[in-house]
Amino acid sequence: MMIKEYSQFKEAEIRRLYSSVGWTAYTEDMDALCRGFINSLLTLAAYEDDELIGILRAVGDGATIVFIQDILVLPEKQRTGVGSALVSVLLERYPGVRQIELAADNTPGTVAFYRSLGFRELSEIGCCGFMKMQ
C-alpha cells in the first residue's frame, strides 16, 4: 500500500469508492464533491497496485484545527490498516495542531476504531458537538 496526496480529482475512482461504502448523498452531486476536494486542506489517498482503496479528506486551517471530513476505505480492504495509516499520515503532517476533530457514525466498530487511534468522544473532555444538516 502507498499513501500520497490526492491532487487530481478523478470522478470515476471517487464515485466508485464513495458508492462502495454507501455514501450516495455525495455521489448524487459530483460537482459539489469535486469542489469539496479542491477546497480541502489536505486529501490523502491510499493505493494498492494503482487502485484507489482509501481516502482521507481534511478541512481546517492547519494551525489550530484540522477536521477529518471524510475517511473511506473499500469494504474489502477495511480492517487491514488502511484507515489507520491514513490517519497516521495526517497526524504526522500536523503535529502541533491543538484540535484534530471528526464526526462519525455512532456504531461500535466506528467508535472502537477511532478510540484505537487516540480519539475521545467530545463528552469525555467536557465538550459537546452540534451539526446542522441542510
Report how many domains make up the chain: 1
- CATH code where residue 86 lies: 3.40.630.30
> Is residue 45 a contact partner of residue 54, using CB atoms and an 8 Å limit?
yes
Backbone angles phi, psi at 57, to 5 degrees: -120, 125
- 40 belongs to a structural domain: yes
* Confidence (pTM): 0.94
Q: How far apart are CA 86 and CA 66, in angstroms?
A: 14
Residue 134 belongs to a domain: no
In a domain, 117, yes or no: yes
pLDDT (tens, 9 = 90+) of the chain, 134 residues, equals 999 999 999 999 999 999 999 999 999 999 999 999 999 999 999 999 999 999 999 999 999 999 999 999 999 999 999 999 999 999 999 999 999 999 998 999 999 999 999 999 999 999 998 999 88
Q: Looking at the domain assignment, is residue 68 inside a domain?
A: yes
- 129 located within any domain: no
